[in-house]
């Protein structure tokens, strides 16, 4: 199919572009490059072995979006575009609501006009809120503790209401756990624009010498070693999950589907640090500090629904995640060139 990938120059978007091309789909990217560098595109084309059309504009521009959907004969959409920094969303809530909700509504309106029905939406395990039962199953109630999380909860609600009103839609809500890792070539990977909020990119920057030491946000949680436990999933497993979801919704008559994309296994902060030291051969100095506001002790998926319905399962190990991250970080110590 001809698939539009919004935010396709981003971390998860770029990896998904490669997997879509690898599965035989034709891909078009739209990205406003507010959180991605144009040099990603050259890397993607190098890895895909083909030209990838990229359109640089904000999805809120209805006129440009109409031209794009018509010209590129788009048949389905995978929607990543959105701001995603939890802390920033607390400081700039209106930017997050305008961008994440506004762009999504503009995209849905344009898809309605062009009668494009398949949509895969990039949601997050953050919608399970601050006190989820673990392992998380898709039937749990949703809530949030920050504006970023609320935008995901609200977009999921928008899509529930839309598919109830117009059952011809074919929508997949994919709830990611903790995406980490990089394409094994080391040519694309996660490139935070500022000080990394997330654990894995921060550890990688310590290992490559860009940061002095890791701050471990608390070791007094009710977990085996006291540090936070998360379900880290390799970005290539995540990308494969998007291809599987797209192919499922375009061959089944269900207006709305929800799937967790996780491994079902939890890894603590200190376990991840040790795994990274083994994969990189570098020592990661760290200091235990106070808890970070809003953090929960444990988060990991029950991925059985995606396994049963999509025939999808995460296969890459925590070692793979660390080794692939390290290969990307070593080859690109400052991230993508500007």
Write out the residues near ligand WQD by the rule CB under 6 A: 84, 86, 124, 126, 178, 197-199, 202, 214-217, 228, 230, 269, 292, 295
Residue 86 vs 204, nearer CB to ligand WQD: 86
Structure tokens at 318: 């925590």
Minimum distance from residue 294 beta carbon to ligand WQD (Å): 8
Give the torsion sign (CA, 232, 234, 235, 237).
Answer: negative
> Which residue reads 């990205």 in tokens?
31
Whole-number minimum distance, CB 105 to ligand WQD, in Å? 20
48 vs 158 by CB, closer to ligand WQD: 158
What is the rounded CA–CA span in Å between residue 110 and residue 125? 27
Residues pairing with 4 in the sheet: 28, 77
Which region holds residue 226: left if phi is over 0, alpha if psi is between -120 and 50, else beta?
Answer: left
What totals of helices (H) and strands (E) does the chain contain, helices first?
A: 12, 14
Cα-Cα-Cα-Cα torsion 129, 135, 138, 140, nearest 10 degrees, comes to -50
Nearer to ligand WQD among residue 199 and residue 258 (C-beta): 199
Is residue 336 annotated as a catalytic residue, yes or no?
Answer: no
**Residue with nearest beta carbon to ligand WQD:** 228
Alpha helices in 123-170 (DSSP H): 147-165
What's the min distance (Å) between Cβ of 161 and ligand WQD?
22
**How far apart are CB 214 and ligand WQD at their closest, in Å?**
6
Residue (80 or 169) nearer to ligand WQD, CB: 80
Looking at the Cβ atoms of 112 and 215, the one nearer to ligand WQD is 215
Cβ-contact 292, 218 below 8 angstroms: yes
> What's the closest the beta carbon of residue 216 comes to ligand WQD, in angstroms?
4
Cα(274)–Cα(333) distance, integer angstroms: 21
Contacts of 114 (CB under 8 A, 6+ apart): 66, 69, 70, 74
Kindly give, in sequence order, each residue whose CB lies less than 8 Å from that of residue 283, ignoring residues fewer than 6 positions away: 277
Cβ–Cβ < 8 Å for 190, 182 = yes
- Residue (41 or 279) nearer to ligand WQD, CB: 279
* Rounded Cα–Cα distance for residues 219 and 290 (Å): 8
Least CB distance to ligand WQD at residue 9 (A): 17
Catalytic residue among 11, 148, 176, 300: 148
Q: Which sequence positions are flagged as catalytic?
A: 148
């Amino acid at each position: 199919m001809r698939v539009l990938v919004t935010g396709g120059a981003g971390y998860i978007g770029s990896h998904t572009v490669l997997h879509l091309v690898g599965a035989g789909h034709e891909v078009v990217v739209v990205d406003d490059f507010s959180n991605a560098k144009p040099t990603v595109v050259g890397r993607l084309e190098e890895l895909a072995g083909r030209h990838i059309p990229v359109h640089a504009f904000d999805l809120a521009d209805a006129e440009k979006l109409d031209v794009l959907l018509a010209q590129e004969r788009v048949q389905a959409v995978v929607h990543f575009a959105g701001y995603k920094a939890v802390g920033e969303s607390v400081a700039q809530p209106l930017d997050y609501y305008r961008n994440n909700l506004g762009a999504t509504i503009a995209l849905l309106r344009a898809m309605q006009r062009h009668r494009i029905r398949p949509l895969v939406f990039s949601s997050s395990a953050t919608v399970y809120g601050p006190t989820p039962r673990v392992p998380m199953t898709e039937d749990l109630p949703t809530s949030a503790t920050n504006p970023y999380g609320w935008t995901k909860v609200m977009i999921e609600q928008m899509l529930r209401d839309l598919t109830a009103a117009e059952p011809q839609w074919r929508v997949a809500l994919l709830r990611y756990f903790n995406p980490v890792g990089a394409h094994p070539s080391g040519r694309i990977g996660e490139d935070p624009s500022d000080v990394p909020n997330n654990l894995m990119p921060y550890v990688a920057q310590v290992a490559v010498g860009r940061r002095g030491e890791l701050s471990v946000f608390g070791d007094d949680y009710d977990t085996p070693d006291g540090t936070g436990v998360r379900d880290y999933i390799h970005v290539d497993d995540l990308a494969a999950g998007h291809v599987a979801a797209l192919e499922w919704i375009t061959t089944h008559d269900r207006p709305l589907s929800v799937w967790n994309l996780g491994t079902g296994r939890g890894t603590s902060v200190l376990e991840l640090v040790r795994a990274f030291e083994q994969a990189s051969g570098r020592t990661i100095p760290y200091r235990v500090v106070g808890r970070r506001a809003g953090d929960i002790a444990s988060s990991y998926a029950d991925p059985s629904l995606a396994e049963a319905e999509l025939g999808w399962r995460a296969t890459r190990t925590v070692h793979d995640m660390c080794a692939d991250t390290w290969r990307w970080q070593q080859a690109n110590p400052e991230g993508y060139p500007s």
